[in-house]
Amino acid sequence: MGFLIFVAAMIAKKTFNIEAIREDFPILHTSVNGRPLVYFDNGATSQKPKQVIEAIDNYYESENSNVHRGVHHLSQLATNKYEDARRTIQQYINAEHSEEIIFTKGTTDGLNMLAFSIGQTLEVGDEIIITEMEHHSNIVPWQMLCERSGCKLRVAPINSKGELKLDAFCSLLSDRTKVVSVTHISNTLGTINPIEEIIEASHRYGAVVIIDGAQSIQHMKIDVQTLDCDFYLFSGHKVFGPTGIGIVYGKKKIMEVLTPYQGGGDMIETVSFEKTTYNVLPYRFEAGTPNIAGAIALSRAIEYLNTLPLDEIEKYEKELQEYAQNELCKIDDVRIIGKASNKTSVVSFIVDGIHPFDIGTLLDKQGIAVRTGHHCTQPLMKIYGIPGTIRISLAFYNTKEEVDILINALKRSLQMLR
């Protein structure tokens, strides 16, 4: 049924009506400290449309059962919904096979899974390339792997605008490069990396390419076959779905030869005290009872997105980001961190002489939610020589009027802090 909803949604798209869209998100109509909520923390987690909330309620009220192998009605119903969700996500990112879609807890969980499973194939002296703008989740698992295996972690530099130095990246590639793992969009800078060129260059050396899509899946259409990436990962809660669910897309021919990350139920074919044989894809990477409600609700989020004109939304979000950045630049002592020519969704800034936490606290008093700190990119903060930033991260339900509210609130805050 979920797959049929997906197809119907593709046929009957809504026009981009910001007022109608905002009506789909109940939390946007709440107040904070007596002020209407202005939610600019979408990079940390996005808000959920009522369709997603209803899907979670409906599962636990009417469909709750464990999936796979159950012969009773509820188990078969839950299994069908769970596997429909897999197919919905397959179609959304244009994966070739539904078994290439692995359910995880989120992007962090997926990166740890890949670092372990791919790591089993690596040897001393093999190299892994990341970039200076990576989230900790795309740094620490590879460091842990290198400590275990004797592999070497190479880091591609960025320029002062927050753009990847592509020539420098390419110079790191060699026959020793086995894994390239890069973010599609920086969660701190908003930089959109040239992943098409990265993938093509890396494949010339036979490297496996992993794309961290945690900040891109919600802002642009993704076609994994066109990209030709080997893996693409994202988190449900950042694409208007629930927390605790995520996706690893992996090419079937690669996934079939990798060692499973975890052992337990559902990932096995046969078990004896002498030997265990593993299940087929995708189940060999889904040990234990999965987040069934999360998978179903994530598919509803994807179905919701498919009712919207995604091309218009991408253009709108770009205009909104540029508007916010331009208005911030008019305020004395504001410095934008990350001025890539190709960026979206995120505006990070600091105010000279004032700690980001103090600004964030005063904005909250005025009903505005922003994120302050290092955003799980401490190495990036070190490059810029700052402790952290104030980060505005946008979604399609945000408006220019909300940006204006932020600008006025920031000016009031600075008058109090100076």
Residue 8 has pLDDT above 70, yes or no: no
How much is the pLDDT for 14? Answer: 65
Using CA atoms, how far apart are residues 326 and 400, in angstroms rounded to an integer? 12
Instruction: Give the domain ranges of the chain.
Output: 18-48+309-417, 58-305
Helix (H) or strand (E) holding 317: helix 310-328
How much is the pLDDT for 10? Answer: 46
Distances (CA, A) of 11 to 4, 6, 14, 240, 330: 11, 9, 10, 21, 43
Residue 11 has pLDDT above 70, yes or no: no
What one-character DSSP code corresponds to residue 237?
A: G
Residue 106 has pLDDT above 70, yes or no: yes
Helical H runs in 94-139? Answer: 107-119
Task: Yes or no: say if 218 and 92 are a contact pair by the CB < 8 Å rule.
Answer: no
Nearest Cα to Cα of residue 179 among 197, 199, 196: 199
Tens digit of each residue's pLDDT (9 = 90 or more) over 215-226: 999 999 999 999
Residue 213 has pLDDT above 70, yes or no: yes
How much is the pLDDT for 150? Answer: 97
Q: Beta partners for 129?
A: 154, 180
CATH number of 58-305: 3.40.640.10
Lowest pLDDT segment from 14-18, 279-283, 332-336, 389-393: 14-18
Residue 193 has pLDDT above 90, yes or no: yes
Residue 5 has pLDDT above 70, yes or no: no
How much is the pLDDT for 190? Answer: 98
Tens digit of each residue's pLDDT (9 = 90 or more) over 274-290: 999 999 999 999 999 99
- Cα dihedral 122, 143, 261, 135 sign: negative
Tens digit of each residue's pLDDT (9 = 90 or more) over 238-261: 999 999 999 999 999 999 999 999
Task: Yes or no: say if 387 and 409 are a contact pair by the CB < 8 Å rule.
Answer: no
Using CA atoms, how far apart are residues 129 and 256, in angstroms rounded to an integer? 23
User: In the structure, what pLDDT confidence band is assigned to residue 9 with cuts at 50, 70 and 90?
Assistant: very low
- DSSP E strand stretches across 83-237: 101-104, 127-131, 152-156, 177-183, 208-212, 231-235
List the catalytic residue out of 151, 170, 229, 376: 376
Counting residues of the chain whose pLDDT is more than 70, the rounded percentage is 97
How much is the pLDDT for 340? Answer: 98
How much is the pLDDT for 388? Answer: 97
Instruction: Look up tokens 């690669």; give the residue.
Output: 254
How much is the pLDDT for 136? Answer: 98
**CB-based burial of residue 172 (10 Å sphere; 0-12 exposed, 13-18 middle, 19+ buried)?**
middle
Task: Yes or no: say if 116 and 142 are a contact pair by the CB < 8 Å rule.
Answer: no
- Output the pTM of the full model: 0.95
Q: Residue 330, by phi and psi: left (phi above 0), alpha (psi -120 to 50) or beta?
A: alpha
Count CB atoms within 10 A of the CB of residue 32.
Answer: 15
Q: Which two tokens stand for residue 152?
A: 């070497």
Peptide bond into 282 cis (omega under 30): yes
Residue 15 has pLDDT above 90, yes or no: no
Contacts of 51 (CB under 8 A, 6+ apart): 24, 300, 301, 303, 304
How much is the pLDDT for 85? Answer: 98
**CB-based burial of residue 305 (10 Å sphere; 0-12 exposed, 13-18 middle, 19+ buried)?**
buried
How much is the pLDDT for 155? Answer: 98
Please give the mean pLDDT across all residues of the chain: 95
Using CA atoms, how far apart are residues 272 and 255, in angstroms rounded to an integer? 24
What one-character DSSP code corresponds to residue 348?
A: E
Using CA atoms, how far apart are residues 87 and 97, in angstroms rounded to an integer? 9
Strand-strand pairing, 368-369 and 334-337: unpaired
Tens digit of each residue's pLDDT (9 = 90 or more) over 312-355: 999 999 999 999 999 999 999 999 999 999 999 999 999 999 99
Mean pLDDT of 105-118: 98
How much is the pLDDT for 163? Answer: 98
146 is catalytic: no
Residue 6 has pLDDT above 80, yes or no: no
How much is the pLDDT for 60? Answer: 97
Residue 191 has pLDDT above 90, yes or no: yes
SS3 187: coil
Tens digit of each residue's pLDDT (9 = 90 or more) over 49-84: 999 999 999 999 999 999 998 889 999 999 999 999
Q: Which two tokens stand for residue 20?
A: 């109608």
* Domains 18-48+309-417 and 58-305 belong to one CATH topology: no
Write out 31-88 in H/E/C secondary structure.
EECCEECEECECCCCCCCCHHHHHHHHHHHHHHCCCCCCCCCHHHHHHHHHHHHHHHH
Question: Among the CATH numbers 3.40.800.10, 3.40.47.10, 3.90.1150.10, 3.30.2020.30, which is that of 18-48+309-417?
Answer: 3.90.1150.10
Using CA atoms, how far apart are residues 129 and 171, in angstroms rounded to an integer? 11
What one-character DSSP code corresponds to residue 354?
A: B
Task: Yes or no: say if 175 and 205 are a contact pair by the CB < 8 Å rule.
Answer: yes
